[in-house]
């Protein structure tokens, strides 16, 4: 991609009124734009990061044998009423409240902030026999939550992207076996996107009365407080924390702010009861389906990555999710032989994958180009200028070391 053709530009200053580090850098770099408090547009550069994350999550969910679908945002009142969740605080409502006489308003909807209700209703069409179990399905879907305070940039929004997966089982034992598998898949996801998580026990909120598990990234930007042990695996969210649960280990309990990037819930039969989802057993008897639900905050991961990986000069994206693999920067004033060689390398490497950003702008100084490149946070910066001669200068965003290397070597770097 030629940088001169990008829809967005990098701003010289931070946006006004944004306090969180992630929103500051992401807006300044042109990854996102603020639309309202807690509501952001994902701009082309941000969408590239988002795609890389969703692709990793998709691979891990598919590896569990789960199928992708897409449920609606307009979820009718009757669904929420079955589970007693029409009255929750976070639900945005729309529809017929304005004018009950108008046929168009004959429906009251709550904007989907989670999809247990719709998913269980769908499952009812396809799960009838024990032979139909286990099954699971997931979606990447925009969720809406009427937050009292939308804050922290992409960490807590009123509209955000989530991966939510729902699983259906014959009994608690089968749920438990899947629960451990998805726990492992979540560990894979966070490792692959570059986040170190600890798994904390937590309460079930509006979802379940059982203990649930939260995947937490220890970071001062987080709103959660996690109590954990650095020696054993003990970790609990503030709301459920009891020191006596840690009596077998003598290590001191620490606590730290954390960002919840995912959670897994054993739902039991709460939703299958509400929607009368049951299967016929081999014996002819009927049995309630046992369910689980599992969320990953996709846009929240983007925000968390910036909180974790940035310095005073900008973002430092992990390679697996970076918007581009490499940032080629041309400093040559003339379209001479060396420029042509550099551009030809870009064209060759970029042809199939479009994973290289080429700074072709003539109206920016070397200093401006470098500063902007640091803000964007692309893992590799490759420079061609008068001073690099027949070689190219390569620098990792995460390091301060420069190196002059031959064209042959550059190709090796970029093949990784």
Applying CB under 8 A, which of residues 54, 94, 287, 398 lies at the interface with a second copy?
A: 94
Helices (H), 237-336: 270-274, 298-308
Residue numbers 351-390 binding a second copy by CB under 8 A: none
Residue 126 binds a second copy (CB under 8 A): yes
Q: Does 146 engage in binding with a second copy (CB under 8 A)? A: yes
C-beta of 409: minimal distance to a second copy in Å? Answer: 31
Taking CB under 8 A as the rule, does residue 144 contact a second copy?
yes
Instruction: By CB under 8 A, name the one of 64, 73, 225, 405 that touches a second copy.
Output: 73
Cα separation values, 309 from 45, 357, 416, Å:
17, 20, 21
- Which of 16, 19, 98, 282 contacts a second copy by CB under 8 A? 98
Task: Report DSSP state, residue 284.
Answer: S
Q: Which residues contact 322 (CB under 8 A, 6 or more apart)?
A: 49, 52, 377, 378, 379
Torsion of CA 314, 59, 44, 351, to 10 degrees: 100
The first and second tokens of residue 288, run together, are 């309630």
When asked if residue 89 is in the footprint of a second copy (CB under 8 A), the reply is yes
Contact status: 149 vs a second copy (CB under 8 A):
yes
Q: Is 14 in the site for a second copy (CB under 8 A)?
A: no
Q: Which of these, 318, 327, 322, lies nearest to 350 by C-alpha position?
A: 327
Could you write out the DSSP letters of every residue in 6-64? Answer: -S----SSPPTT--SHHHHHHHHTTSEEEEETTEEEE-HHHHHHHHHHHHHHHHHHHHT
Under the binding rule (CB under 8 A), the answer on residue 43 touching a second copy is: yes
Q: Is 415 in the site for a second copy (CB under 8 A)?
A: no
Strand-pair partners of 163: 140, 296
Distance between CA atoms of residues 405 and 177, nearest Å = 51
Give the nearest distance from C-beta 23 to a second copy in angstroms: 14
Which of these, 67, 233, 91, 246, lies nearest to 139 by C-alpha position?
A: 67
88 binds a second copy, rule: CB under 8 A? no
Q: Give whichever of 50 and 382 is closer to a second copy, judged by the CB atom.
A: 50
Residue matched to tokens 């629960």: 179
Rounded to the nearest whole angstrom, what is the least distance from the CB of residue 89 to a second copy in the complex? 8
Residue pair 33/41 in contact (Cβ under 8 Å)? The answer is yes
Nearer to a second copy by Cβ, of 125 and 400: the residue is 125
Residue in 18, 54, 76, 130 binding a second copy, rule: CB under 8 A: 76
SS3 131: helix
Q: Given the rule CB under 8 A, which of 64-72, 230-238, 284-292, 337-345 is the region that contacts a second copy?
A: 64-72
- In degrees and rounded to multiples of 5, residue 411 shows phi and psi of -60, -35
Among 12, 17, 101, 125, binds a second copy (CB under 8 A): 125
287 binds a second copy (CB under 8 A): no
Instruction: Decide whether 170 or 316 has the Cβ nearer to a second copy.
Output: 170
**Interacting span for a second copy (CB under 8 A) from 31-39, 170-178, 260-268, 285-293:** 31-39
| Binding region for a second copy (CB under 8 A) out of 70-78, 217-225, 376-384, 389-397 | 70-78
Distances 94 to 83, 108, 214, 407 between C-alpha atoms, Å: 19, 6, 31, 59
Site residues (CB under 8 A) for a second copy? 5-9, 11, 30, 33, 35-37, 39-44, 46-47, 50, 65, 67-76, 89, 92-95, 97-98, 102-105, 107, 109, 111, 118, 121-122, 125-126, 135, 137, 142, 144, 146-149, 158-159
């Amino acid at each position: 991609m030629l940088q001169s053709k990008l829809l967005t530009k990098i701003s010289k200053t931070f946006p006004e009124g944004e306090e969180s580090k992630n929103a500051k850098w992401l807006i300044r770099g042109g990854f996102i734009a603020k639309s309202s408090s807690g509501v952001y547009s994902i701009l082309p550069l941000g969408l590239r990061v988002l795609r890389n994350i969703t692709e990793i999550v998709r691979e891990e969910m598919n590896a569990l044998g789960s199928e992708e679908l897409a449920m609606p945002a307009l979820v009718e009142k009757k669904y929420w009423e079955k589970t007693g969740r029409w009255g929750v605080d976070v639900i945005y409502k729309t529809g017929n409240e304005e004018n009950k006489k108008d046929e168009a308003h004959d429906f009251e909807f709550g904007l989907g902030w989670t999809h247990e209700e719709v998913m269980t209703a769908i499952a009812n069409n396809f799960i009838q026999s024990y032979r139909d179990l286990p099954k699971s399905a997931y979606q990447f879907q925009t969720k809406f939550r009427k937050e009292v305070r939308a804050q922290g940039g992409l960490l807590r929004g009123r509209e955000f992207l989530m991966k939510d997966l729902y699983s259906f089982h014959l009994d608690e034992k089968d749920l438990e076996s899947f629960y451990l598998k998805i726990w492992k898949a979540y560990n894979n996801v966070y490792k692959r996107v570059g986040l170190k998580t600890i798994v904390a026990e937590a309460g079930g909120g509006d979802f379940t009365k059982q203990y649930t598990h939260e995947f937490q990234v220890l970071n001062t930007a987080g709103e959660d407080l996690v109590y954990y042990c650095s020696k054993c695996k003990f970790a609990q969210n503030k709301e459920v924390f009891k020191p006596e649960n840690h009596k077998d280990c003598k290590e001191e309990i620490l606590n730290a702010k954390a960002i919840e990037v995912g959670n897994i819930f054993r739902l039991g039969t709460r939703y299958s009861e509400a929607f009368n989802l049951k299967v016929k057993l081999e014996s002819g008897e009927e049995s309630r389906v046992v369910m689980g639900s599992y969320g990953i905050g996709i846009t929240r991961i983007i925000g968390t990555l910036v909180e974790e990986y940035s310095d005073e000069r900008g973002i430092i994206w992990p390679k697996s999710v970076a918007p581009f693999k490499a940032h080629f920067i041309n400093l040559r004033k003339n379209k001479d032989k060396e420029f042509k060689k550099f551009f030809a390398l870009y064209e060759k490497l970029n042809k199939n994958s479009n994973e290289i950003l080429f700074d072709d702008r003539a109206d920016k100084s070397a200093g401006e180009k470098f500063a902007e490149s640091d803000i964007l946070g692309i893992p590799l910066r490759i420079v061609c200028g008068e001073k690099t001669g027949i070689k190219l200068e390569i620098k990792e965003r995460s390091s301060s070391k420069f190196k002059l290397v031959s064209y042959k070597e550059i190709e090796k770097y970029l093949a990784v």
